[in-house]
Amino acid sequence: MIKNYFLIAFRNLKKNKAFSFINIAGLAIGMAAALLIIQYVTFELSFDNFHAKKDRVFRVTQDRFEHGKLSTQWAGGAFAEGNAFKNNFPEVEDFVKVVGNGSLLAVNNDTRLTLEKTYFASQSFFNVFSYPLISGDPKTALRDVNSAVITETVAKKLFGTTDVVGKTFKFDLNLLKVTGVMKDYPENTHFRSDLLMSYSTLLKFAGPKNDLDNAWLNDGCLTYLLLKPGVDAKALEAKFVPYVDGVYKKINWSGATAAYHLLPLEKIHLSPNLMLEAEPHGDGKSVYLLAGISIFVIIIAWINYINLATARGIGRAKEVGVRKTLGSNKGQLLAQFMLEAMLLNGLAIVLAVVMIIVFLPIFSAISGQNITLTLLVKPVFWLAVVSLFLLGSFFSGFYPALVLSNFRPAEVMKGKLSASPRGIILRKVMVVFQFAASFFLLIGSLTVYKQVNFMEKQKLGINIDQTLVIKPPLAHVDSFYRSMSAFKNESLRNPAVKSVTVSTNIPGDPVQWNAGGIKLKGTDQASGKQYRIIGGDYDFLKAYGAKVLAGRLFSKDFSTDPHAVVFNEKAVQLLGFDKPEQAVGREIDFWGQVYTIVGVVQNFHQQSLHDAYDALIFRCIPDVRGNVSVKISTDNLPRTIAALKSNWKTFFPGDQFDYFFLDQHFNEQYHADRQFGQVFATFTGIGIFVACLGLFGLVSYTIVQRTKEIGIRKVLGASVNSILTLLYKDFALLVMIAFVVAALLGGFAIHQWLQTYAFRIDITWILFAVPFIIVLFISFATVSWLSFKAALMNPVKSLKTE
């Protein structure tokens, strides 16, 4: 019996080649798209799931408040929280502290290596996390002062081997001993480093007077708690509130308070970015939206099958009637048609896997994920393949099989069978869904494109063009100011160099110098507020073209400027002034030091347009260490860069001349948005193509059914235009209904998405009109090509058609 079912199924595939091709191609494209998105989403959801204790590890996030108003949300909070929570809450089994140290220059004999990501980490690091050590004792590797753990890649570059435990290397004037070598970090982790130094080394640098380890007002420490088995994290978080309130009441400093939250380790990657994140995060909303797109695309492909299978049902009615007359029961017929669906889905899934192999490099480039053919050996991939096959066979095959197996032999044999009203309505509903989904995806894709384009083209309020940024030198600690002054003077002799300035931050980077308690001189301490601080030399604001609203910028002509500050508009408002002029000349108390406000500049975008303007204070620090911003002429650029490199080697021998262009660096903030837009647009196109493929098949079959009707109309004098209008009418109505549904849902969705941006485009009619025109054009072109052929057909041939 099974053999007979397969034989009949293959005969039907060969007999209806066009129908089979459209169904298999549509299903294959839909399945391939869904499988690729599933891999993308699965990877994004897999972050940090390799840690053995992942279910019990939580990062402590901190919300800072001033006078009850939220001022900053930190990924890394106070240094004291780890010790305090461990000592006061028995639910906490262990904790680890991780503190960023930026870049450093590691030196081993003649080998000099710049390590971009270095951290201090407490002794429990390898107890809480499951990053494996190749060599070294995980219990003691980060215990002693001046001990360090490096990755295998760093070990090979610095020493030429991974067998380096016990060896030493230098940075600045310090000597570090390698106590462990760990495997390189996997791609799916929220934290990665080149070097981990013991936390006790940081405490040594800070000195005993500061008592950094128990400080509640020093932020910047990433703290992770390992809870005991069975502990309710939410209940523990609630216990933090009265304890922390009591701590801050004792401190009683400038109205400062804080709230601490527990963020599960596995959710860190897709949670919103906070101040001091170890790595840029993924976008949780985007990931879940792409998961929704994959569902849309595969449902569109399944709908194609259902529509075509049920539309063809009348053509197979006599087959059903004859088989029922000869004794076939409903169950046997249901099995036959379900087997046909399984055969089509099976062929489609094979084709889908082939398409994935072919297009995987392209998808990897678009998505930014390093997905290789090793994907094909992962159990999760084949689980998705089998699941899609089984679900597709059932959802796309069950309803058509039910419809076809329910035909009544008597009606079929008398030729009285026609499509049921309920079946016609269901097909129309499914067509509406297909085109509504297409409209929805296009509206979303266009919105993403316009928002990203808006952010990249928007004026920042400062000039970052033609700016080359040199990363700060890592050696020459003692002679930095003297060497930098010489470098600046020599470089400015070059006519192609317009300015050279040094600052703690450059546009595009988060300002991590966060200072609370700043107030007007003579006012109560409780009036203190929190600001972001950027330190720069005399030329910093001038070099970037900051617009002065009141007062002046820093200048060497004023010997008092090292005790001067410049505010931006937002900072002036936070200080309590309505107009910039009111702030000029006023003195502020900055942690016990008195500074004079000499100027106010216009707000500018220090970071991407995701973020609102920050309250910024600019301090004049002539000997500031940081990035070196060089404004240059683009004429003969290689020659100018070579001259700068030569000067750098002269005044900073042994330091690497590592540079980048600021406009590219700033726009890197939109890299994730651009990639999301590319993925969104790609699968939007696939969804529309699959929908049109189904429309092509449905229109083809509709025209075949109405061939005799078209012939009679032509004999009775109907024009080609009137026949085209007749065939257009039904589909045009369905497209209009789909557009209305999609416009309502799409408008709501893009409004919600745009709310995540502080600066965003307006929702205008163009976001809906363009998708409407595109889908209308494509669908009508599809219908027109087939309808025009039918309308021009010789009526004699039409009337001969059985």
Pick the most confident of 145-154, 284-293, 431-440. Answer: 145-154
Q: Let me know if 767 is exposed, middle or buried by CB neighbors in 10 A (0-12, 13-18, 19+).
A: buried
Q: What is the mean pLDDT of residues 19-43?
A: 83
Dist. CA 608–CA 424, nearest whole Å: 51
* Average pLDDT of the segment spanning 74-84: 90
Check residue 493 and give its pLDDT.
94
Is residue 469 classed as helix, strand or coil in its secondary structure?
A: strand
* Cα separation, 753 vs 760, whole angstroms: 10
Containing 78, the helix (H) or strand (E) segment is: strand 77-78
Question: Could you read off the pLDDT of 672-710 as tens digits, one per residue?
Answer: 888 888 888 888 888 888 877 777 766 766 666 666 777
Contact 413, 325 (CB under 8 A): yes
Between 16 and 561, the higher pLDDT residue = 561
Q: What is the mean pLDDT of residues 716-727?
A: 73
Residues 6+ apart with CB under 8 A from 172: 104, 105, 474, 475, 477
CB 481 within 8 A of CB 623: yes
For the ranges 104-118, 266-280, 609-623, 765-779, the maximum mean pLDDT occurs at 609-623
d(C-alpha 791, C-alpha 720), whole Å: 6
User: Which of 129-138, 304-313, 437-446 reaches the highest mean pLDDT?
Assistant: 129-138
Q: Which residue has the tokens 């084949």?
A: 382
Q: Decide: 646 and 564 in contact? Cβ < 8 Å.
A: no
DSSP calls for 713-728: HHHTT--HHHHHHHHH
Give me the pLDDT at residue 681, please.
86
| Distance from C-alpha of 166 to C-alpha of 176, rounded to nearest angstrom | 10
| Closest to 469 in 3D by CA, of 443, 447, 501 | 501
Residue pair 597/588 in contact (Cβ under 8 Å)? The answer is yes
Cα–Cα distance, 643 to 495 (Å, whole number): 11
Is the pLDDT score of 412 beyond 60?
A: no
Q: How far apart are CA 5 and CA 23, in angstroms?
A: 19
Q: Determine the pLDDT at residue 477.
A: 62
How many angstroms separate the CA atoms of 128 and 53, rounded? 7
Task: Read off the pLDDT of each residue in 169-196 and give the average, rounded to a whole number.
Answer: 91
- Residues paired with residue 57 on neighbouring β-strands, in sequence order: 226
pLDDT at 705: 65
Tokens of 610: 């995701």
At residue 219, does pLDDT exceed 60?
yes
When comparing pLDDT for 640 and 474, which is higher? 640
- Given a cut of 80, whether residue 127 has pLDDT beyond it is yes
Name every residue whose Cβ is closer than 8 Å to that of residue 737 and which is 6 or more positions away in sequence. Answer: 432
Quick one: pLDDT band at residue 5, thresholds 50, 70, 90? low
- Extract the tokens encoding 627: 């990035």
Q: How far apart are CA 740 and CA 532, in angstroms?
A: 47
pLDDT band (50, 70, 90) for residue 565? very high
Asked whether the predicted pLDDT for residue 340 surpasses 80, the reply is no
The 10s digit of each residue's pLDDT in 256-265 is 788 999 999 9
pLDDT band at 416 (very low <50, low <70, confident <90, very high): very low
Q: For 637-648, what is the mean pLDDT?
A: 94
pLDDT at residue number 153 = 95
Between 540 and 293, the higher pLDDT residue: 540
Of 390 and 233, which is predicted with more confidence? 233
Q: Residue 654: is its pLDDT beyond 80?
A: no
For residue 286, the model assigns a pLDDT of 77
- pLDDT at 341 exceeding the cut of 90: no
Count of CB atoms within 10 A of residue 270's CB? 18
Q: Is 417's pLDDT higher than 70?
A: no
How far is it, in rounded angstroms, from Cα 448 to Cα 672?
Answer: 11
Element (H, E) at 223: strand 219-227
Task: Quick: pLDDT tens for 34-57.
Answer: 888 888 888 888 899 999 999 999
Q: Give me the helices (H) in 608-719, please.
A: 637-651, 662-667, 671-705, 707-715
Higher confidence at residue 590 or residue 502? 502
- The confidence band for 217, taking pLDDT boundaries of 50, 70 and 90, is confident
**How confident is the model at residue 744, as a pLDDT?**
93
Between 612 and 275, the higher pLDDT residue: 612
Task: Band the pLDDT of 8: cuts 50, 70, 90.
Answer: low
* Nearest-angstrom CA–CA distance, 370 and 357: 14
Residue in the block written with tokens 């879940």? 288
Q: Is the pLDDT of residue 642 over 70?
A: yes
Token pair listed for 230 = 């069975």
Strands, DSSP E only, in 67-151? Answer: 69-74, 77-78, 92-108, 111-121, 133-135, 147-151
What pLDDT score does 66 carry?
78
Which residues have C-beta within 8 Å of that of residue 448, sequence separation ≥ 6?
673, 676, 677, 680, 681
| pLDDT band at residue 651 using 50, 70 and 90 as cut-offs | very high
What sign results for the dihedral spanned by CA atoms 220, 281, 759, 471?
positive
3-class DSSP state of 227: strand
Express as a percent the part of the chain with pLDDT over 90: 41
Give the number of other CB atoms < 10 A from CB of residue 796: 10
**Hey, which of 102-111, 245-254, 532-541 has the most confident mean pLDDT?**
532-541
pLDDT score recorded for residue 497: 94
Q: What is the mean pLDDT of residues 457-473?
A: 92
Averaged pLDDT for residues 614-641: 93
Residue 209 main-chain phi, psi, to 5 deg: -65, -35
Per the CB < 8 A criterion, the answer to whether 147 and 177 are in contact is yes
For residue 359, give the amino acid letter.
F
**Distance between terminal CA atoms of the chain?**
32
- Average pLDDT score over the chain: 84
Above 90 in pLDDT, residue 799? no
Write the pLDDT tens digit of every residue in 398-411: 766 666 666 555 55
pLDDT band at 624; cut points 50, 70, 90 = very high
Q: What DSSP element (H or E) covers 400?
A: helix 379-405
What's the CA gap between 136 and 181, in Å, rounded?
7
Sign of CA dihedral 541, 547, 553, 555: positive
pLDDT at 375: 67
- The length of the chain is 802
Please, which residues bridge with residue 588 across strands? 520, 595
Long-range contacts at 756-760 (CB < 8 A, ≥ 24 apart):
756/285, 756/610, 757/451, 757/455, 757/609, 757/610, 758/609, 758/610, 758/611, 758/612, 759/454, 759/455, 759/458, 759/605, 759/609, 760/451, 760/454, 760/609
Burial profile 709-731: b = 16 or more Cβ within 10 angstroms, e = fewer: ebbebbeeebeeeebbebbbeeb
pLDDT at 415 over 50: no
